[in-house]
Amino acid sequence: MTTTPSTTTTVRQRRLARTLRRLREGAGLTIDQVAEKVELSPSTISRIETAQVSVRTRDVKELLEVYQVTDVQRAELLELARTGRQQHPWWNEYKVLPSVPLLAGLEADAAFIQQYSALLIPGLLQTKEYAAAVIGAIRHDAAPEELKQRLELRMHRQQLLSQKDAPDLWVVLDEAALHRTVGGPAVMHRQLQRLIEASKRPNITIQVLPYSAGPHAGMDGEFTLYSYRDPVDPDVVYLENTGGDLYLEHGDKTSRYRLIFRHLQAAALNPAESVRTLADVQHELAVPERG
């Protein structure tokens, strides 16, 4: 389904929301019937079941009593409610930025990230100079302090890729993104070098989709697919848009994006060829010598 979760929702909270919805349906109860049994409005229960609000442990206890949940499952879900409300400490600094902490949360819990980018270098692989130029162009009407926060957060998110339990990142990057000079030739030269270096890391794979590929499965737009270690947590497709980001969890939709990504992988240059292409484009840049 298409979801509009809270900007600080964690994967654990989303898992708890799905479980509470299944328990209610399994008990044969409607949202209105449950609302009559607990001190919550129907709209609040609906928001809990769609992870639009953070649920209190006390409310979870009352709901589990209504659903007559067994002791073992009860303990597991109460623990999930307690741990699900815990935020990564650094997220709290950026709650004023709509949807951005949620994106960081999806990344932080992911085991595998697959991303197709047609217009620019993905945020997790951007240099600070490149990121500053991109954020400044997209958020041209934002206050300097907001631009600073967005840049800081983007750089902080990149630490994810060097952690002990770092996710695998697989990027299919359209060749057009390599030729768009962002921040000037010198900035772009260093950005391409960052990609070349990143491709050497065991958890990062970069493929370039060349112009010669012609029409391809990703022409409908960019996307990121997050997959998780626990099989009970469904894949999430993230579609970024200035007018409002989308998060898709419905199995049919995420399966379609997985298929699209496989087509893109097949159409793109292999990783070794992609590195050579990155080096060729980098060599073509006219970078002024420092005097």
Residue 9: enclosing H or E segment and its boundaries?
none
Please report, for residues 95, 103, 226, 236, the alpha-carbon distance to residue 7 in angstroms, rounded to integers and kept in the order given.
Answer: 8, 8, 17, 15
Q: What is the pLDDT along the chain (291 residues), one digit of tens a residue?
A: 444 444 445 677 777 888 888 889 989 999 999 988 888 899 989 888 877 777 888 888 899 999 998 888 888 888 877 776 555 445 556 666 666 666 777 888 899 999 999 999 999 999 999 999 999 999 888 899 989 999 998 999 999 999 988 999 999 999 999 999 999 999 999 999 999 999 999 999 999 999 999 999 999 999 999 999 877 788 999 998 776 678 888 889 999 999 999 999 999 999 999 999 999 999 998 766 655
CA angle 61, 67, 71 (to 5 degrees): 60
pTM: 0.77
CATH architecture of 2-84: Orthogonal Bundle (1.10)
* CATH architecture of the domain with range 93-284: 2-Layer Sandwich (3.30)
Domain with CATH 1.10.260.40 in the chain: 2-84
pLDDT at 95: 63
Report d(CA 157, CA 88) in Å as an integer: 12
Please classify residue 252 by burial: count the beta carbons closer than 10 Å to its beta carbon, then call 0-12 exposed, 13-18 middle and 19+ buried: exposed
Q: How many CA atoms lie within 13 A of 132 on its CB side?
A: 11
| Range(s) of the chain covered by CATH 3.30.870.10 | 93-284
Predicted confidence at residue 6, as pLDDT, reads: 45
CB 172 within 8 A of CB 195: no
